[in-house]
Chain A
Amino acid sequence: MSSAELDVVLLSVRVAALAVAASLVPGILAGWALARWRHPLLPLLQGVVMLPLVLPPVVTGYLLLFALGRSRPLGQAWHALTGGHVAYTTTACVIAAAVVGFPLLVEAIRLSMLGVDPRLEQVSRSLGRGPLDTFLRVTLPLALPGVAAGAVLSFARALGEFGATIVLAGNVAGETRTIPVAVYTLLNVRDGETAALRLVAVSVALALAALLLTFRLSARRRDP
């Protein structure tokens, strides 16, 4: 593998890790809310959270580009905060990967929190632990295998992200050229196929490893 290809792999892993890290806390909150709250508008929230799973990634990417554009409030807020623009940066890759992986993370967390007996939470409250304490001492520890499985799954999804990335982040070598973007680029140049195949092999290995890890984590969750 050439050093340029290694850079591509490292960038991909960095982007995916940052995406998961950034979505972990909101993902836990969303999963908990969807598992425990009762509200007539909750299905709508669930729909919004799950949307990136069913939207074509290119559409998701375009919606993000639209929302984060220079003349939009979100884009301007970002500019005021960082002095830069989102589009065509590594940050854009991270945002695209995080948004697309978010439904997988939230769904795994939601399911594992549904599996936590609410009566354990009632007992915790009656023993004197408030809602936050109960969440941190009972609900979250018991849902942890699901949180981990969701994190691994969304990490793997982030590694494979192409559609939203190419729209929002483009194809800048060293900045936004992740494995899928690099493979696509290599397939379009003469003699690029061998290099593309090497990246494909790395991609398959990483994805398979992530899946195996997820299986293991969910198997542990089912143990008594």
Chain B
Amino acid sequence: MLEVRLRHRFRDFDLDVTLKTSGPVLGVFGASGSGKTTLLHAVAGLLRPQRAHVAVGGGVAWSRPAGSWPPPERRRLALVTQDPLLFPHRSVRGNLAFAPGAARRLEGAAGRRVLEVLRIEPLLDRGVETLSGGERQRAALARALLSEPQLLLLDEPTSALDAELSREVLGLLLQVRQELRVPMVLVTHRGPELLAIADDCAVLEAGRVVAQGAPVEVLSRPRALGVANLVGVDNLLRLPVTGHDEAGGVTLLGLGSGLSLAAPLCSVAPGSAVDVGFYADEILLCLETPKGLSARNALPCQVASLDAVGHEVLATLSVGERTLRARLTPAAVAELGLTRGVRAVAVVKTAAVHLLGGS
């Protein structure tokens, strides 16, 4: 559906992106300043990168410096941004009818479908300044769809909305995807959005793609510290390598007080530090050291605090000289009789411990 190769050197920033996706929805994930918006603008033709090759489904391909690099109006890629950017001098209807041919489409079956899915009908004759934030984003989405784009470019379409509205818009995007079958590129800095909507995702960091694949895979196996910070990997540690067990396939990392954490075997020299991350869900708590355990980590720990977060309990554990976080159910907390100061054993599979930052 979309293939992108881009290189552009800015004064203080290099964009060097290679992306290929076949899924109808590509998620592009990254912190602000990672080059997400620049990437979208280049695909949209709003930017003239030094070197570029963009292929959109159906055999259409644009490239620079050789080849053609058409202006945005000849690409049929509609852009929807965080700020809905409705035209303030036009009514909602005037905005929806803006694209060439959109006025005619608005009267036809396709237009009615868009109005229905996005629930725009009652807003048509309102002035845009009277709309609420969610209504504005719906109108902007409808305006983009009525231009009959071959690809919808969404630049953080929900990040200006509160949690509830952003869920609503996300639901609408899912509907647009399923019912109107418009392929999309969704740029976001929120992990859950990607999980909900994208078939394929790419993680952008400092102008480069650092990970690409199915969202669940990319977001749950953080290969780069940047991703870990973004998606909120709950345990991020920089630990010294104390030794390797090549036959056993593990590298041991010092947690202090003689304890060590077994991570997948890596080639970092003993004494050097590595960054590791694992989710709070990956920790099991037991009151005694279990017998016959396949997990390589059974670490004695002490409960430092328990915080209720929604329907879950986030436990902070002291392990050696470090602190780990584990996510538990209230039922488990009750059954084990966990309170502050209780001693327990934290069990973590080696494979759950991800080495970050290419280490």
Where the two chains meet, the residues of A that have a C-beta atom closer than 8 Å to any C-beta of B are: 117, 119-120, 122-131, 133-134, 137-138, 141-142, 224
Contact = CB atoms under 8 A, between A and B. Distances in A.
A117 B85 contact: yes
B60 to A, nearest CB: 15
Contacts of A142: 87-89
29 contacts: A117-B85, A119-B83, A120-B85, A122-B44, A122-B46, A122-B72, A123-B79, A123-B85, A124-B87, A124-B98, A125-B46, A125-B73, A126-B44, A126-B45, A126-B46, A126-B73, A126-B75, A126-B77, A126-B153, A127-B78, A127-B99, A127-B143, A127-B147, A128-B73, A128-B76, A128-B147, A133-B73, A137-B98, A142-B89
Contacts of A141: 89
Interface string B138-157: 00000110010000010000
Given A122-B72, A122-B79, A127 B46 contact: no
B100 interface: yes
B288 interface: no
| Max count, chain B CB within 10 A of own CB: residue among A127, A133, A134 | A127
Nearest to A120: B85
Interface residues of B, number: 27
B325 to A, nearest CB: 40
B73 A119 contact: no
Given A119-B85, A138-B87, A130 B98 contact: no
Contacts of A117: 85
A123 B128 CA distance: 16
B271 interface: no
Given A128-B73, A141-B89, A142-B89, A123 B99 contact: no
A141 to B, nearest CB: 5
Contacts of B171: none
Nearest to A123: B85
B71 interface: yes
B129 interface: yes
Contacts of B99: 127-129
Nearest to A134: B73
A128 B71 contact: no
Most buried by A among B46, B73, B89, B99: B73
Given A142-B89, A224-B129, A127 B71 contact: no
A137 B99 CA distance: 11
Contacts of B75: 126
Given A130-B73, A138-B87, 9 more contacts: A119-B81, A119-B85, A122-B44, A125-B72, A125-B73, A128-B76, A128-B147, A137-B98, A142-B87
Contacts of B143: 127
Q: Please indicate which of the listed interface residues A120, A126, A138, A142 has the most CB atoms of chain B within 10 Å of its own CB.
A: A126
B144 A127 contact: yes
Interface in B53-93: 71-73, 75-79, 81, 83, 85, 87-89
Contacts of A125: 45-46, 71-73
Contacts of B89: 141-142
Contacts of A120: 85, 87
B49 to A, nearest CB: 16
B97 to A, nearest CB: 11
B73 A123 contact: no
A130 B72 CA distance: 8
A135 to B, nearest CB: 12
A24 B88 CA distance: 24
A87 B72 CA distance: 49
Contacts of A123: 79, 81, 85
A138 B143 CA distance: 15
Contacts of B78: 126-127
Contacts of B98: 124, 127, 129, 137
A224 to B, nearest CB: 6
Interface centre among A125, A128, A133, A138 (most CB of B within 10 A): A128
A222 to B, nearest CB: 13
The 10 closest A-B pairs by CB, nearest first: A126-B79, A125-B72, A127-B99, A127-B147, A126-B72, A130-B73, A128-B99, A123-B85, A141-B89, A128-B100
A224 B86 CA distance: 13
A130 B45 CA distance: 12
Contacts of B81: 119, 123
A138 B73 CA distance: 14
A115 B102 CA distance: 27
A125 B147 CA distance: 11
Nearest to B99: A127
A148 B75 CA distance: 35
A126 B143 CA distance: 11
B139 to A, nearest CB: 12
A130 to B, nearest CB: 5
A133 B71 CA distance: 13
A120 B85 CA distance: 6
Contacts of A124: 87, 98
Contacts of A137: 98
B214 to A, nearest CB: 29
Contacts of B85: 117, 119-120, 123
Interface in B100-133: 100, 102, 129
A224 B89 CA distance: 10
